[in-house]
Amino acid sequence: MSQRPIRVLIAKPGLDGHDRGAKIIARALRDAGMEVIYSGLRQSPEQIISAALQEDVNCIGLSILSGAHNVILPKIMDLLREKKMDDVLVVAGGIIPDQDVLSLKKHGIAEIFLPGTSTKAIIQFISDNAGSEKG
Amino acid sequence: MSKIPIRQPEWSKLKHRWERELLDPSNRLLPQRQEEFTSISGQPIKALYGPDDLENFDPKKDIGFPGELPYTRGIHPNMYRSRLWTMRQFSGFGTAEDTNQRFHYLLQQGQTGLSVAFDLPTLMGLDSDHPTSTGEVGKCGVAIDTLADMEILFKDINLESVSTSMTINCPAAVIWAMYLASAEKRGFTWDKLRGTLQNDILKEYIAQKEWIYPPHPSMRLVTDTIEFATRHVPQWNSVSISGYHIREAGSTALQELAFTLRNGIEYVEAAIKGGLKVDEFAPRLSFFFNAHNDFFEEIAKYRAARKVWARIMKDRFQCQDSRSCMLRFHTQTAGCSLTAQQPHNNITRTAIQALAAVLGGTQSLHTNSMDETFALPTEHAATIALRSQQILATESEVANTIDPLAGSYFVEKLTLELEEGCWTYFKKIDAMGGMIAAIEQCYPQKEIQEAAYQYQQAVECGQKIVVGVNQFVVDEENNIDTLYIKPAVGEKQLKRLGAVKARRNSPVVRQSLMDLRKAASADENLMPFLLSCVKAYATLGEVCDQLKQVFGSYQEPIF
């Protein structure tokens, strides 16, 4: 029985426009055989959740470098729970100090990928942890 | 008796002998560490450079003297011997009071110029109370909503005696209007104000991605500021044509250089089209480059920058004023080179990068803080960064002589290669119809993205090393102090904004906004209208919205 490839939404929440990392990861995930949708810049939590639902993704990767992660990421997680999308794996990265990582994980973000994380490690984590429908 | 220089064929013969008799046996005994050596940008680097690399090199034509064409060696005859570079640390966070405090602190610690970092809402022309500003207020820079904030930002600072650089792009004209209005209110005359507005919208489409309006109306805002500065604020650098962000987005050194200078060409053409004579405004164009890890490549880049810009201004635009041909630049050490792993190593990285900038003849320099992979700099980290510059300036003795690396076969060759690369890129972009056309075709964006991906691949396969990340890795728990912006900052800013809105004269605000909109639909210089708006305490968001009604919004091409 073949498995549907893992579908990932790479999203840029908030006003931050730094997309170097997000785009590299999107490409690396595609090269690894995943289906990747890139949200574009400056997406609201609602837009991200709506895209995730529409695209029926297994994983959302949130990239945020603006320092607004403590406000915006929990909002996204709340919306996710509201829409009963608890089976979607959520990971995040960007500029996030160590002291905020624990609280973000408590909100349900599975892993925070800090600067210096290899795309290999991210691919591995998503492969291991994102569910995918059997086709 | 004059010395006869060694002729090329003779040198090649000597070099072949050296390779045959010494280098090749040495390589057999002790093989090279890598198969190929490349610069961080991927340029192949040879074991040895010599006269054979500078075959048609003419010192008079190619490097000359500092202070005159081609300016390779520096734009002033005396460079750092009379005046060191400006130590200008990029700062801003929280409210205007918080940032004003940091400004005073850094000035007390010996920095010699100011540089303002604004928060994302401000950078995007949004007020702190806009729905999309939630969580962002004061987080990556200072929140500026109205003239009231600007007045606090520069409290007790003599704007006639210290220069101010403001890193702001799509709403730059509005923020500049606030700066000019607050200076005027405090009794400073505009002709004495020295400073720089980044105001480089082209690199936003290419790299930093902070935009509001589409390219053509955005260029109008830039040329309006250039014209206004030319007429009314003569010591002001109306644009800081930037490569820093292009490099941070992942470009090579050559792309950083070529795209920046080509953006410069686009601005010069636009200003001339707008009715200005090139020598009226060109002396006040300025530049901003990255200081990345590859020490010699960066030094060569700055030298090539001066040489290429001088040629452009002389040949392409027929400048008569020598100041129009002088590339003056600020440098910032590479943020993207810093690591979250073993962050104290960032101090070392920054110092090496700063040295490259100084040996490259920068006019102004910002050194990054070690904690910036986590947050904005703490006072402690910012002080160390400033001290790096001060140690360079006073202890290393590198500022004793001008352009010390001139004549190095390696550095001169690298300089020539970067110069040649620029002309190739210019030809390509000219053929596309110019930089705006190239941006619409996503050309520079794709070039940068590809370079960024290649570099990431090189790091992940170990071809390029990052200490602490793919070599000398330790299991660590980070205990460094980082700057934390409290939620109270956002609340305070909202209160202040509310108070300003409550006490201002609403009909005057409305009228000024209406006048602005009318002028935006015509082709008048918008600066006087922006000044009226900000003086009436119209908010940044209100002003930018009015312009949006006329200019429209930019849609990001996704590829």
Check the CA dihedral B145-B151-B156-B161 and report its sign: positive
Residues of B in contact with A120 (CB under 8 A): 460
CATH of the domain at B366: 3.20.20.240
Contact at CB, A67 and B140, closer than 8 angstroms? yes
Which pLDDT value is given to residue B342? Answer: 96
Q: What is the identity of the amino acid at B250? A: G
Helix H, strand E, coil C: the string for B62-112 is HCCCCCCCCCCCCCCCCHHHHCCCEECCEECCCCHHHHHHHHHHHHHCCCC
| pLDDT higher than threshold 90 for residue A65 | yes
A1 vs chain B: nearest CA distance in angstroms? 33
In a domain, B212, yes or no: yes
A80 vs chain B: nearest CA distance in angstroms? 19
Q: Say how many CA atoms lie within 13 Å of B404 toward its Cβ.
A: 13
Contact at CB, B210 and A17, closer than 8 angstroms? yes
Contact at CB, B136 and A41, closer than 8 angstroms? no
Which pLDDT value is given to residue A134? Answer: 38
Q: Annotate B220-268 with DSSP letters as a single string.
A: HHHHHHHHHHHHH-TTEE-EEEE-HHHHHTT--HHHHHHHHHHHHHHHH
* Chain B touched by A113 (CB under 8 Å): no
The span from the CA of B292 to the CA of B526, in Å, is 37
The span from the CA of A52 to the CA of A7, in Å, is 9
In a domain, B290, yes or no: yes
Average predicted confidence (pLDDT) for chain A: 94
In a domain, B529, yes or no: no
In a domain, B150, yes or no: no
Contact at CB, B126 and A72, closer than 8 angstroms? no
Which pLDDT value is given to residue B122? Answer: 98
Which pLDDT value is given to residue A135? Answer: 34
Which pLDDT value is given to residue A73? Answer: 98
Among partner residues A18, A68, A120, which is closest to B135 by beta-carbon distance?
A: A68
Q: Mention every residue, 6+ apart, whose C-beta is less than 8 A from residue A39.
A: A9, A10, A11, A12, A47, A48, A51
Contact at CB, B449 and A23, closer than 8 angstroms? yes
Distance of CA B549 to the CA centre of its chain: 30
Question: In 3D, which of B272, B276, B277, B242 has the Cα closest to residue B259?
Answer: B242
Domains defined along chain A, listed by start: 7-128 (3.40.50.280)
Q: Annotate B7-37 with DSSP letters as a single string.
A: PHHHHHHHHHHHIIIIIHHHHHHS--SSS--
3-state secondary structure of A7: strand
The span from the CA of B398 to the CA of B273, in Å, is 43
Per-residue pLDDT reduced to its tens digit, B226-244:
999 999 999 999 999 999 9
Which pLDDT value is given to residue A132? Answer: 59
pLDDT tens series, chain B, 559 aa? 445 566 667 888 999 999 999 999 999 999 999 999 999 999 999 999 999 999 889 999 999 999 999 999 999 999 999 999 999 999 999 999 999 999 999 999 999 999 999 999 999 999 999 999 999 999 999 999 999 999 999 999 999 999 999 999 999 999 999 999 999 999 999 999 999 999 999 999 999 999 999 999 999 999 999 999 999 999 999 999 999 999 999 999 999 999 999 999 999 999 999 999 999 999 999 999 999 999 999 999 999 999 999 999 999 999 999 999 999 999 999 999 999 999 999 999 999 999 999 999 999 999 999 999 999 999 999 999 999 999 999 999 999 999 999 999 999 999 999 999 999 999 999 999 999 999 999 999 999 999 999 999 999 999 999 999 999 999 988 778 999 999 999 999 999 999 999 999 999 999 999 999 999 999 999 999 999 999 999 999 999 999 999 999 999 988 7
The ipTM assigned to this model is 0.95
Residues of B in contact with A46 (CB under 8 A): none
Maximum pairwise Cα distance, chain B: 87
In a domain, B366, yes or no: yes
In a domain, B410, yes or no: yes
In a domain, B406, yes or no: yes
Interface test with B, best of A10, A16, A20 (most B CBs within 10 A): A20
Strand partners, B372: none
Which pLDDT value is given to residue B120? Answer: 98
In a domain, B258, yes or no: yes
Among partner residues A95, A116, A120, which is closest to B339 by beta-carbon distance?
A: A116
Which pLDDT value is given to residue B215? Answer: 97
- Residue B408 tokens read as 């190095």
- Chain B residue closest to A98 (CA)? B478
Domain of residue B258 covers: 59-76+156-460
- Residue A109 tokens read as 């973000």
Region of residue B407 (phi > 0: left; psi between -120 and 50: alpha; otherwise: beta): left
Number of separate domains in chain B: 1
- B139 neighbors B120 (Cβ within 8 angstroms): yes
Which pLDDT value is given to residue B479? Answer: 79
First to last CA, chain B: 65
Interface test with B, best of A10, A15, A47 (most B CBs within 10 A): A15
Give pTM, 2 decimals: 0.97
